[in-house]
Amino acid sequence: MAVIFSKEWLQEFALLWNADKEMVQGLKKADFHSAIAYGYKGERDPRGVIFVEDGKVILVSEYQNQALNWDLRADIMDWKTWITKGFGLANLGIAVAQGKLEFKQGEYRKMISNPSLAKPFLRHFELMTKMKTDYKL
C-alpha cells in the first residue's frame, strides 16, 4: 500500500489511467497535454505530479518546481473520503463551492464546462477509488 501522492502511488495511478481506454481515448480526442499536481491545502508545494500527453500518463514525479497546468489541493481527510467513497459530479460542485477542493492552478470553470474534459476529470477520481492508499502525511 503506497502513501497518497508518493511516486509509488502515482505510478500505480498511472497504470490504472493508461489501462482505461475511455479515459485515454477521451483525452486524446480533446488533445489533452498537461502537468497535473496533487497536494494538500496549506502546503506551499504539491506532493506529486503526473504528466499527460495525448491522454496517457507518460511520467510521474515528486514536485520539483515543474511548470503546472493543474494543481489540485484538499485536506487529507477530504482526499481520503473521495478516494474511499468516490467523487461524483454533485460532490465536485459542492467541494469547490465550499473550498474543500482548491484549484491552485488551472481553470475549474473552463474545465467543467467542457464535456471532453469534465468527464475524464470525474473519471480520474473513480480510478483513485480502485487503489489501496496509505494516508500518512
Domain architecture of the chain: domains with CATH: 2-130 (3.30.1050.10)
Q: How high is the pLDDT of residue 97? A: 86
As a whole number, mean pLDDT of residues 51-75 equals 97
Average pLDDT over the chain reads 93
Closest alpha carbon to 61 in 36, 44, 79:
36
Distances (CA, A) of 41 to 16, 22, 58, 101: 25, 30, 26, 8
Length of the chain: 137
Q: How high is the pLDDT of residue 128? A: 95
Tens-digit pLDDT profile for residues 91-114? 877 888 899 999 999 988 888 888
Query: Which of the four pLDDT bands, split at 50, 70 and 90, describes residue 85?
Result: confident
Q: How high is the pLDDT of residue 33? A: 95
Tens-digit pLDDT profile for residues 10-40? 999 999 999 999 999 999 999 999 999 999 9
Closest alpha carbon to 111 in 80, 89, 127:
89
